[in-house]
Structure 1
Amino acid sequence: MLSFFKINDPLRLIVLFILLVIIRLPIWLSDIPLLTEEIHWLTLGEKLAEGKAMYRDVWDNIAPLSAGVYWFAAKFLGGSRTSLFVIAAFLTALQSLLFNSMMNRSEAYKQKTFIPGFTFLIFSNMSFDFMTLSPALISLTFLLMGLRSLLRMERTDTEQSILNTGLFFGLASLAYLPSFSFLLMGIFALASFRVSSFQRLFLAFIGFTIVWGGYLIYLYYIEALQSFIKCCFLSLGWNDHIFIQTWDQLLILMVIPAIIFVLGALKTFSYNAFVNSQQSIQQVMLIWVITAILSLVFSLYTTSFQLILFVPSLAFFSAHELLLIRRSMFGELTLWIYSTVLLVIMYATAFTVLPKKIESPYTNSFSVEVPNFDEYGEKILIFGDDFNYLKEHKLATGYLNWDVSKNFFDKIDSYDEIRAIYNAFEEDMPDAIVDLNGKGAEVLEYLTIIKTQYSKNQLDNGVTIYAKIK
């Protein structure tokens, strides 16, 4: 397989695409439960497809560009899990092609080859939730475009490439807010490519500002600027960092890729025949890892699908290792071992085919069924942080994300706030109100007219439900 992908032939693209389908087909055809975040994204897309505006009519802290992609999936592709898989597969294929093309064009390796694209494809499938349409995956597409502009700097050193770097990193952060940390990496990389003029370096920041400035002007125009700041920026200070998966669960997915990365990096930096431009690219890809770690620190929560931001560096150094192995037989064996181990771990964790003492890393991420809940109607409002109740249901009102919504409900003693909440109920009355934390009862005490339309019930799991009287 190594010798096959070493040949720089465009027909290898077709093989890469076929491999992508073969690897993911068992996942697509399976009945693996939805991730709770997938319920979140599908519900958001469905609500936006009704004509609601993000941050004005729907309250969530997902970045706007990703919200737009979920709207597109709901509006034009049916808004199912299949639509998330299809778009994610398209983006992964595009990223593999883009990564391979930029590495060949920048002559990052000793020869032009499809090995970088292949390693990128394998690492893009090392975790089951890399196959769904996460904000991190959407952001990675623009990060790679920004990286392509960076790598052009060694050969072109043009103002347009510097500006494009900022533009693409700006778009990446519009898809996944913690990706703004890559702007710092970009500026450092530009400096390493001998762009010593401060004015020229500042062009990257200008490109970043153009993207964000344009979007903020749009928000101001639709009167949603203040709420966007509350939903996204200020929410970073409202909440503690949440680990959806434990460190033990994450280590199951991280250990083998980390070992492969270390082996690839050691092999690469121990080789002394690289030219200056290739060494500069290696430094950039090493900094990429540090920046990806920073993005995890800046995020509101940590879960396994965010690890996809490490894929470019993993693919880069493992491709170097494979190409630097002198004996072709050892190279082939190394490639097969890496690919097999990564895919076995992915399938084993996705289908929970693990030793009894090892818990699946997705245990805390999979959705669970809520018993005897369908009888309460279709449109649901949740006071609390549990998207399981929205599975196969619709969101009533725009209060989707509890981390954001609670800051509105905490101000119910304010006349303006209680009026806004009342209007939201009147416009989109829930069939059922799920009260996970007692806040629903407190809000209904202020909405006396609304409260008279509901009866108090309890589910089998002890959760209080306010069902609309029919």
Structure 2
Amino acid sequence: MLSYFRINDPYRLVIIFFLLLALRLPVILSDSGLTAPELSHMLVGEKLNNGASLYEGLWDNIAPLSALVYAIIDFLFGRSQQAYQYISLFLVAFQCLIFNKMLLDSKAYNENNYVPGLVYGLLMSFFFDFFTLTPVLMGLTFLLLALDNLFDHIEYRAKEDEKILNIGIYLGLASLFYLPYIIFGIAVILCFMLFTGTVARRYLLMIFGLMLPLLLTSGYFLLQHRLTVFIYNYLNPIWQFQTDNYVSLLEILIIFSVPLAFFLFSLFRISQRARFNNYQGRLAQVMFLWLIFSVLFTLISGELAPNIMMIFVPFLSFFIVHAFLLFYRRWVAEIVFTLFVVATVFFSLGAYFDFFFTSKYMLNDKYMVDYTAGKKWEGKRILVLDKNIASYRNAIPATPFLNWELVEGLFRNPEYYDNLTIIQQGFSEDIPEVIIDKHAVMPAVFDKLPEMKMRYRKEGEVYYLKS
């Protein structure tokens, strides 16, 4: 199979697309393994599509462009996991095109072929958690476009100011899909300093491009009189350093042990065989800088989940491709590549369909949403005061208070007038039929709002609206 892609023929990208489809189709057709982040994104799209205003009528730390995409998907398809997965498939195929074109144009390897796009596509299909449409995936598209322009800048020393501006704009757009991507602005500045002779004016041009999408977005929320809630919901959480650990670091290392092993193998092959020219050496150094900032990206992302790890895919693909192309005996390369493909199938489909050991690291109640969760509240408008939002699986979210981490301070401190006013307004505009109070915060709220208390009856940790 590898030899087939070692030909400089654009039609090979079509074959990569169908290979991605074949790897993902069993998961897409099963339509049963919903994750907690997927459910959260669906709820955001549903609330916005029902007329809620972002960050005011909906409290969540999702980035504005991601929220817009989910609202459009909900308008077109409703709560459709398959819609997320098909859109993700086409987006990954587009990223394969960008990645392969970037490395072809930059002459990163000694031969021109479509192996980079193939390896990138396989790594983006390595685990079923990569198969859905996440803010990380959407933002990664613009990060790759920024990297493409950066490679051009390193090669030609940026005789075109337009490419410098584009780098900043792409990074700014990526951060509007997922805020932690903004850290790669520092990575670009370091690349300018270490690998180019960029003049000061062009540093300022890149920073202007980076800030322009953020300033325009801030201006929009300012005109809508929602700038304060925009800052609180979108910008403020990145400084809180709170992490949702859906899986442990050890589990992440086990899940992605094969790509890590192939990367270490590629370093060994490169050290033994590779003969980089000066430009290729600079590109390798840029990718190692990418690794450093990818680690920082995961630290500030606010969650530890397998889909966050796709930020490492461009870095891993860059070096793993080198390893495959350095085999003198092509039959050996074919064997090693076949092992890589087989591992991809087992680690992605095996975990999802529970026939491989990695399933025990992912098929857990904290990350996977039970299909029957909240069945007894099906069709009812509910409020879940907890990080575990599985009860929304068959219900409708009520009130603006979707993200518990953002609203916990409100419900735990109802003695403050502003907090109480926000809660009362949220309930009056969209009163829930069911309140699931996992942390026993409602008694203190009801003490301050006795009229609201009269409308509910309590059964354990659940409050029901009286008929």
Cα pair distance change 1:381/1:269, threshold 3 Å: same
**1:380 is aligned to 2:368:** no
When structure 1 is superposed on structure 2, of 32-41 and 128-137 the one drifting more is 32-41
Distance in 2, matches of 1:247 and 1:201, equals 36
Q: Which residue of 2 aligns with 1:25?
A: 25
In 2 relative to 1, CA 346–467 (structure 1 residues): closer, same or farther, beyond 3 Å? same
SS in 1 for 2:233: helix
- For 1:467, the aligned partner's letter is Y
Does residue 100 of structure 1 match 2:97?
no
How much does 1:211 deviate? 1.4
Cα distance in 1 for partners of 2:274, 2:88 equals 38
Query: Gapped runs of 5+ residues in structure 1?
Result: 459-463
Task: Report the Cα distance in structure 2 between the residues aligned to 1:143 and 1:358, rounded to whole angstroms.
Answer: 31
Q: Tell me if structure 1 keeps the 8 A contact 2:410–2:419.
A: yes
Corresponding residue of 1:306: 308
Aligned to 1:469: 466
1:204 is aligned, of 203, 206, 227, to: 206
What is the DSSP-based 3-state SS (H/G/I as helix, E as strand, rest coil) of the residue aligned with 1:456?
Answer: strand
- Contact kept, 8 Å, 2:58 with 2:401, in 1: the verdict is yes
Q: Given residue 85 of structure 1, which amino acid in structure 2 is its aligned partner?
A: Q
- CA spacing shift, 1:185–1:333, aligned 2, 3 Å: same
Distance in 1, matches of 2:129 and 2:441, equals 32
CA deviation digits over 1:241-278, x for unaligned, max 9?
33210233212212111111122233234445322221
Deviation at 1:239, TM superposition (A): 5.7
Give 1:65's aligned residue.
65
- 1:316 to partner: Cα distance: 1.0
Tell me by how many angstroms 1:348 deviates. Answer: 1.5
Task: Say if 1:170 and 1:207, in contact at 8 Å, map to a contact too.
Answer: yes
8 Å CA contact 2:374–2:390 kept in 1: the answer is no
Q: Indicate if the aligned counterparts of 2:373 and 2:393 stay in contact, CA closer than 8 A.
A: no
Q: In 1, are the aligned partners of 2:32 and 2:371 still within 8 Å (CA)? A: no
CA drift of 1:19 comes to: 0.6
8 A Cα contact 1:380 1:395, kept in partner: yes
Quick one: distance in 2 between partners of 1:358 and 1:51?
A: 39
1:4 aligned partner: 4
Contact 1:383 1:440 in 2 (8 A): no
Q: Which residue of 2 aligns with 1:81?
A: 81
What does 1:49-448 correspond to in 2, within 5 Å?
Answer: 49-153=49-153, 154-155=155-156, 157=158, 158-238=160-240, 240-355=242-357, 359-363=360-364, 364-368=366-370, 373-375=375-377, 378-448=380-450
- Give, in whole Å, the separation in 1 of the partners of 2:238 and 2:449: 30
1:130 Cα deviation after fit:
0.3
Counterpart amino acid of 1:105? D
Deviation at 1:48, TM superposition (A): 0.8
C-alpha separation in 1, matches of 2:194 and 2:161: 16
Measured in 2, the distance between the counterparts of 1:439 and 1:24 equals 42
State the TM-score, normalized to the length of structure 2.
Answer: 0.95
* Local SS of the residue matching 2:78: coil
CA distance in 1 between partners of 2:398 and 2:103 (Å) = 48
The offset of 1:47, in angstroms, is 0.4
The answer as to whether partners of 2:87 and 2:133 remain within 8 angstroms in 1 is yes
- Identical-pair percentage: 30
CA distance in 2, matches of 1:303, 1:147: 24
Asked if 1 retains the 8 angstrom alpha-carbon contact of 2:241 and 2:300, the reply is no
Q: 2:77 & 2:148 partners in 1: Cα distance?
A: 30
Displacement of 1:375 after TM fit? Answer: 4.5
Letter in 2 for 1:160: E
Contact kept in structure 2, 1:245 and 1:362, CA below 8 Å: no
**Structure 2 unpaired stretches of 5+:** none
Distance 1:419-1:252 versus aligned 2 partners, 3 A rule: same
- The Cα of 1:237 is off from its aligned counterpart by 4.5
Retained in 2: the 8 A contact 1:56–1:223? no
One-letter identity of the residue aligned with 1:127: F
Deviation of 1:78 (Å): 2.5
Aligned letter for 1:110? N
| Number of positions where the alignment pairs a residue of Structure 1 with one of Structure 2 | 464
- Aligned AA (2:370): V
CA spacing shift, 1:269–1:282, aligned 2, 3 Å: farther
Q: What is the TM-score when the length of structure 1 is the normalising length? A: 0.94
Taking only aligned residues, the RMSD between alpha carbons, in angstroms, comes to 1.9
Q: Quick one: distance in 1 between partners of 2:71 and 2:165?
A: 29
Distance 1:183 1:372, change over 3 A: closer
Contact map agreement 1:165 1:204 (CA 8 A) in 2: yes
- Cα separation, 2, equivalents of 1:113 and 1:371: 48
Distance 1:418 1:95, change over 3 A: same
Distance in 1, Cα, partners of 2:23 & 2:199: 47
1:447, distance to aligned residue in structure 2 (A): 2.1
The alpha carbon displacement at 1:156 in A equals 5.9
Contact 2:245–2:304, Cα closer than 8 Å, also in 1: yes
Describe the shift of the 1:181–1:26 C-alpha distance in structure 2 as closer, same or farther (beyond 3 A). same
Deviations 1:184-238 (A, max 9, x none): 1112223344233222122211111111111111111112211122223332444
Q: Distance in 1 between matches of 2:385 and 2:241?
A: 16
Counterpart contact for 1:377–1:432, Cα < 8 Å: no
